[in-house]
Amino acid sequence: MSYLVLESLREKIAQALLSLGLGSSSGQVDFVVEPTREKRHGDFATNVAFLLARLLKRPPREVAQNLKELLEPLLSDMARVEVAGGGFINFTLKDAFLLELLQRVLEEDERFGEVDVGKGVRIQVEFVSVNPTGPLHVGHGKCAAFGDALARILAKAGFAVEKEYYINDAGKQIELLGASLEARFRQILGEDVDVPEGGYRGEYLVDIARELLRERGAEVLGLPEEERNKLFREYAVEKILAQIRKDLDDFRVFFDVWFSERSLYEKGEVDYVLSLLQEKGYTYEQDGALWLKTTLWGDDKDRVLIRENGAPTYFASDIAYHWNKWKRGFERVIDIWGADHHGYIPRMHAAMRALGLPEDFLEIFIVQFVTLLRGGQPERMSTRQGEFVPLRSLIDEVGVDAARYYFLMRDPETHLEFDVEEAKRQSMDNPVYYVQYAHARIVSVFREAQKRAIQWVPFHEALGFGFENEDERDIARAIVYFPEVVKQSALLRQPYLLCNYLHDLAGSFHSFYNLHRILDTENVPRMSFRLALCRLTQIVLRNALELLGISVPESM
């Protein structure tokens, strides 16, 4: 497991507090340790003295001073512990310690960044789960990128992760889909019929109808109604799902499980869960329908489980679905939904409580809409949001890497303005290339070294030469911080923290590269040390990009 710099420091401070009879495990002093923003404040800082000052009713500065004296002997890894500002305590790592950590990074290599905050907890991430009634659009792409990256990050952070796609292959919209396909089918055969009211009018159904005609011929219309409906329905779902899978594959998003809603009905799980809720006494009948008392857990109104016509609602099968997840042994499940579903959250949480599941079993994330811009102007393809632009066309236009990075670089719960023109530009305005370029540059340095048959001291030995300047040290500090970022993004479920980090790391490297010559055969120790730093930076860039599902180019 990788070393967590902040966590270790925090623990030591907590220990010091305990020895003072303060702080304690009860956490009455909830202090932070964080990397400093400015170099002159050292590497890390804590606000513990401010919080303690309140408790002790002493000036923060004085508390900080006392604490510093107490801490110093405990912190053999620190070169300096200083009181600054109104009462901050700043820490500066010993170079020797930093170098020792770098050694570990070399050893851990592709495993660097693995942390054990997940402790093997089984967690499921369910995302995209688009109804198989039409192709994926750009908004789904954002959900896909987020869910996929989150799953990768959680795995790196020590969770046992499974990715799942829930196929809504039951219910009215699927009936409508089948009817829409049949209408297109008949149209091709020259019949004067229209797509049913509220049906699916997209061109893709015309293509599918043609395919069906080619495969099965016009005689399918002669089948008995029930059989015919089933055929059209299933054919449409199958074809559309295949297209969705293809799009997701190309977007480098893969699922462990494709779960069918229909199977819940077939196995009687919907009925079972309904009876379970009835037994618990959380349901009642009114207006001929069966209701769940979701208001018991804060929902605005109670919700219908079985309609007056006897058909279960989507809500009912969704409850069964989540019960099924629980029965499969997940300790925690994450649902990622589009913004138009946010009104659905309270009832879902209420249902979990009604089933008696732990409060933190279900986590729901809402992914806000994407607005596509083209040169600063909103995309015209839709009168509403750009999200109706197919994901496919975005991938074709800007590529997978740029698309994924743009989706991931922001908090998914905020609206995203995605400028297609900017994403396409292979230049400095494009953050994904900025990061990838750093990697390609490093590879190129090694390529050059090899070409010139340059000999250098092996990395682990070369690290012994130590830092020559602040620029080198800055990179080292950024490198050893990576595991903390993995931990943070996993616990906060925020892949974008990783993007910010990557951008910073790449920036430190680019600055360094422009300021200092690496391949300097006049000074072999220095060159060797710098090559070691390059390799280390390369390791982190690669590991981090992989967590985002973005390719790691050897040259650009």
Partner RNA sequence: GCGCCCGUAGCUCAACAGGACAGAGCAACGGACUUCUAAUCCGUAGGUUGUGGGUUCGAUUCCCGCCGGGCGCGCCA
Given 122, 252, 341, 424, the residue binding RNA (CB under 7 A): 341
Q: Which residues contact 376 (CB under 8 A, 6 or more apart)?
A: 419
Region binding RNA by CB under 7 A among candidate stretches 10-18, 20-28, 200-208, 333-341: 333-341
- Asked if 32 touches RNA (CB under 7 A), the answer is yes
Cβ at position 146, least distance to RNA in Å: 13
51 binds RNA (CB under 7 A): yes
Q: Alpha-carbon distance 107 to 15, whole Å?
A: 30
Residue 289 is a binding residue for RNA (CB under 7 A)? yes
In the window 496-555, what residues touch RNA (CB under 7 A)?
496-497, 500, 503, 507, 510-511, 513-519, 554-555
> Considering the complex, what minimum distance in angstroms separates the CB of residue 286 from RNA?
6
* Contact between 90 and RNA per CB under 7 A: yes
Interaction of residue 369 with RNA, rule CB under 7 A: yes
In the three-class reduction of DSSP (H, G, I as helix; E, B as strand; rest coil), residue 324 is classed as: helix
315 binds RNA (CB under 7 A): yes
Tell me the site size for RNA, rule CB under 7 A: 99
Is the separation of the CB atoms in 422 and 429 below 8 Å? yes
Q: Is 103 in the site for RNA (CB under 7 A)?
A: no
* Cβ within 8 Å of residue 554, ≥6 positions away: 439, 440, 443
Report how far apart, in Å, the C-alpha atoms of 276 and of each of 311, 313, 327, 334 are: 17, 16, 14, 23
Task: Confirm or reject binding of residue 286 to RNA (CB under 7 A).
Answer: yes
Decide: is 343 part of the binding site for RNA (CB under 7 A).
Answer: yes
**Residue 18 within binding range of RNA, rule CB under 7 A:** no
How far, in Å, CA of 355 to CA of 326, rounded? Answer: 10
**CA distances from residue 142 to 197, 334, 457 in whole angstroms, order as listed:** 30, 16, 45
Beta-bridge mates of residue 334: 125, 363
Binder of RNA out of 109, 194, 207, 308 (CB under 7 A): 308
376 part of the interface to RNA, by CB under 7 A? yes
User: Strand, coil or helix: what is 370?
Assistant: strand
Choice between 28 and 511, CB closer to RNA: 511
Half-sphere exposure of 382 (CA within 13 A, CB side): 14
- Which of 214/380 has CB closer to RNA? 380
CA atoms of 385 and 383, how far apart (whole Å): 7
Q: Decide: is 424 part of the binding site for RNA (CB under 7 A).
A: no
Nearer to RNA, 2 or 168 (CB): 168
CB of 217 to RNA, least distance (A): 31
Walk across the sheet containing 283-286 and list its strands: 283-286, 289-292, 303-306
The nearer residue to RNA, 186 or 510, going by C-beta atoms, is: 510
Binding segment toward RNA, per CB under 7 A, in 69-77, 200-208, 325-333, 404-412: 404-412
- The Cα 49–Cα 66 span in angstroms is 9
Tell which positions 137-176 bind RNA, by CB under 7 A. Answer: 168, 170-173
260 binds RNA (CB under 7 A): no
Closest distance to RNA from the beta carbon of 541 (Å): 13
* Residue nearer to RNA on the CB measure, 104 or 415: 415
CA gap 443, 542 in Å, rounded: 11
Instruction: Give yes or no for residue 36 binding RNA (CB under 7 A).
Output: yes
Q: Which of 46-54, 110-118, 119-127, 540-548 is the region at the interface with RNA (rule: CB under 7 A)?
A: 46-54
92: contact with RNA by CB under 7 A: no
- Please identify, among the stretches 14-22, 37-45, 265-273, 461-469, the one whose residues bind RNA according to the rule CB under 7 A: 37-45
Of 547, 540, 546, 524, nearest in space to 438 by CA: 540
Compute the half-sphere exposure of residue 477: CA atoms within 13 Å on the CB side of its CA: 23
What 8-state DSSP symbol labels residue 112?
T
- Give the chain's count of helices (H) and strands (E): 20, 15
The residues near 271 (Cβ < 8 Å, ≥ 6 apart) are: none
Under the criterion CB under 7 A, does residue 415 sit at the interface with RNA? yes
The one segment of 109-117, 181-189, 216-224, 301-309 that binds RNA by CB under 7 A: 301-309
The residue (of 185 and 200) whose beta carbon lies closer to RNA is 200
Candidate list 34, 72, 238, 266; residue touching RNA; CB under 7 A: 34
Sole residue written with tokens 């329905």? 233
**Secondary structure of residue 38 in the 3-state scheme:** coil
Looking from the CA of 445 toward its CB, the CA atoms found within 13 Å total: 25
